[in-house]
Structure 1
Amino acid sequence: MSQRIDLHTHSAVSDGTEAPADLIRSAAAAGVRTVALTDHDTVTGWEEASIAARAEGVSLVPGMEISCRHEGISVHLLSYLHDPLNIPLMAEVLQARESRVTRAQLMVDRLAVDYDITWEKVVAHTAAGATIGRPHLADALVTLGVVDDRSAAFEHILTPRSPYYVSLTVVSPIDAIRLVRAAGGVPVFAHPMATARGRVVSEQAIELMIDAGLGGFEVDHRDNPPEARRRLREIAASFDLLVTGSSDYHGTGKPNRLGENLTDPEMLSRLEAQATGCSVVRG
C-alpha cells in the first residue's frame, strides 16, 4: 500500500503522551502520509495538528473517539470529518468528559484504600485541558511503583473486572451515530470485536447500529482477532460499509506503533465522499 493511512491515533489532549504537533511529526517520521487524530471526546487538538500537518507534508483527517455504552458494554465510536461546532454533538461529548472526571475521582477513592494514590497525583500526569481517563490513573500508579507500565495497570488493577473499576455514564452508540451523521461526520465502529478488552456487542446490536447510520468498521486493529476480522469484512461487504485499519497509537502510553495497520486509499476516498462537516487537511 503506497499511501500509508492510519486512521486512529491519540495525543496528550486525551490519553496519548505526545502533543498533537509531535504526534504529526512522529507520523511523518514513520512514513505515515495520512493520519487521523481521534482523541477521546474532544476536538481540542485539531488546530495544532493541522498546523503541524501542513508543515510536515502529512494529511490530517480530523476526528474524535466517542465513548458509548450499549447494554452495559463499552463501545468506542470513531467520528471522522464532523463539524466541530455542531452543538448537539459537542454537548454530548462534553457530558462524556465530565463523566470521565467523576469516574476517575471515584476510582481514585477506591484505589486509595490500598495504594498511596491521590487525585492530585493523577492530575499531575494529565495535560492541561486533556480528557482525563484511566490511562492517567495508570501513569500515577507507575510513578508510585505499583506497576511497571500502563499495560500492566490495565491488565490487573484498572480492568473492568477489578473492584476498583467504575463504569462511565455515556451515550448509546445508536444515538451517537445519529449525532455524528447530523454533524456531517462519518461514524466508524472502533475495534468492534476486541474480545481481549472485555465483552463485545452482539451482531444484532451491530445491525441496529448499521440501521442508525454506521459507516463502517475498524477491522485491522491489533485487538481484533483474525477470525473476527474475517467476520467483520463479511458484514461490511453485506451492507457496503467502510473497512478501515489503524494503529490506535498513544505514543509511549501503549505498545501500538504508527502504521502497524493501514487503511486502503479507496476507503478513505469513500469516507471523504460521505462527509459534509469538515475536510481533510492536506499536507
Structure 2
Amino acid sequence: MRIDLHTHSNVSDGTEPPAGVIISAAAAGLDVIALTDHDSTDGWALAAAAAKEHGVTFVPGMEISCRTEQGISVHLLSYLHDPSHPGLLEEITKSKDARLTRAERMVTLLSEDYPLTWDDVIHHVAPGATVGRPHIADALVAAGVVADRSEAFTSILTSHSRYFVQHYAPEPAIAVELVRAAGGVPVFAHPVASARGRIVGERTYREMIDAGLLGLEIEHRDNPEEGRSLLRTMASEHGLLITGSSDYHGAGKPNRLGENLTSPDVLARIEELGTGTRVVRP
C-alpha cells in the first residue's frame, strides 16, 4: 500500500485544485493521500468526493504554521481533527488573517523596486485560498523578475530579505495541545529541514512531546540523513509515530507524489488515535 500523508492544493500554496491533487495521486499509483493545506480545511469536501470517484483513500489533514519564542518556524501536521473545534479554528483564523496583512505589506515593499501590484498577486490566488509568499513568488515569475518559485524564495523572498515581513503564528506546543483537543493527531513536519532556515533544539521537542505530540515526519526530502537518524532515535525513545511523505505542491515545487511514504501500520495507528473526523474510503 502506497501512502503519502503531506500534500497541498491551491486552497493554500499548491497549484492544483483539491480534486486535481487526488487525480494526480491516483495517476501516481498512490492508494492513500492526505491533503494538508496550510491553516485550512476548505479543500476537504472536494478532495473526499474526488477520492471516492477515483478509488483513492483520503485522509483529512492540515499543516499549521507555528513559531517558537526564538522566532524559529515550525510546521505541524494535523490529521483527523474536528475542523469546527472552536479553539483550533480561532487560532488558524488568526494566522490566516495575519498572513493576509503580511502579504499586503510585503507587496508594498516589493513594489518600490519591482513591477508588482497587489492585483498581480491576487491573480494567482484561488478563491478562498490563504494568501502567502508562494503567490507573491508566482507573481514575480509572471512579471519576469525570477524564473520560478525556488529562485524567488532563495533570493527576493528569503527571510533575510528586506522585503520579508513576519506574521503571527502560535507556539508549537500550544498548537499541539489544540490539535489534540480537536481530536487530531499532531505530527512535526520535516523537523530537521535545515536548508529552509533555523531548526529547533531539544527544548522545543520536549515541550511539544509534553503537550501531546504523536509523530515525526522523518522520511522527507528536506530532512538530511544525519538528522533522520537522530529523529528515529527520538521516535523510539518517546514512542512517536514515523511518517514519510512528498510535501507535494503540484508545479510549485519539485517534490513528486509518493517520493516518500508512510507505512500501513502507522496509518492504522493514526486512524485509532484520530477522533475528530474519519478517513474517507472509496
Q: TM-score range by the shorter chain?
A: over 0.9
Q: Which residue of 1 aligns with 2:235?
A: 236
Residue 281 of structure 2 aligns to which amino acid in structure 1? R
Q: Which residue of 2 aligns with 1:70?
A: 68
Instruction: Give the C-alpha shift of residue 87 in structure 1.
Output: 1.3
Instruction: Give the C-alpha shift of residue 79 in structure 1.
Output: 0.5
Instruction: Give the C-alpha shift of residue 122 in structure 1.
Output: 0.4
SS of 1:9's partner is: coil
Using the aligned pairs only, state the percent identity. Answer: 61
Instruction: Give the C-alpha shift of residue 272 in structure 1.
Output: 1.1
Instruction: Give the C-alpha shift of residue 121 in structure 1.
Output: 0.6
Whole-Å separation in 2 of the counterparts to 1:146 and 1:153: 8
Instruction: Give the C-alpha shift of residue 162 in structure 1.
Output: 1.1
Q: Which residue of 1 aligns with 2:50?
A: 52
Instruction: Give the C-alpha shift of residue 202 in structure 1.
Output: 0.5
Residue 49 of structure 1 aligns to which amino acid in structure 2? A
Residue 162 of structure 1 aligns to which amino acid in structure 2? S
Q: Which residue of 1 aligns with 2:171?
A: 172
1:112-123 aligned within 5 A: 112-123=111-122
Gaps of 5+ in 2: none
Q: Which residue of 1 aligns with 2:221?
A: 222
Instruction: Give the C-alpha shift of residue 132 in structure 1.
Output: 0.9
Whole-Å separation in 2 of the counterparts to 1:54 and 1:125: 28
Q: Which residue of 2 aligns with 1:275?
A: 274
What value does the CA root-mean-square deviation take over the aligned residues?
A: 0.6
Moved runs in structure 1, 4+ residues, more than 3 A? none
SS of 1:252's partner is: helix
SS of 2:252's partner is: coil
Instruction: Give the C-alpha shift of residue 64 in structure 1.
Output: 0.4
SS of 2:151's partner is: helix
Q: Which residue of 1 aligns with 2:2?
A: 4
Residue 49 of structure 2 aligns to which amino acid in structure 1? I
Whole-Å separation in 1 of the counterparts to 2:234 and 2:223: 15
Instruction: Give the C-alpha shift of residue 129 in structure 1.
Output: 0.4
Q: Which residue of 1 aligns with 2:206?
A: 207
Whole-Å separation in 2 of the counterparts to 1:76 and 1:168: 14
Q: Which residue of 1 aligns with 2:35?
A: 37
Q: Which residue of 2 aligns with 1:16?
A: 14
Matched, 1:96 2:87: no
- The C-alpha deviation readout for 1:221-243, integer Å capped at 9, x for no partner, is 11100000111010000000010
Whole-Å separation in 2 of the counterparts to 1:158 and 1:214: 31
Residue 171 of structure 1 aligns to which amino acid in structure 2? P
Instruction: Give the C-alpha shift of residue 61 in structure 1.
Output: 0.5
Whole-Å separation in 1 of the counterparts to 2:222 and 2:112: 32
SS of 1:218's partner is: strand
Residue 197 of structure 2 aligns to which amino acid in structure 1? G
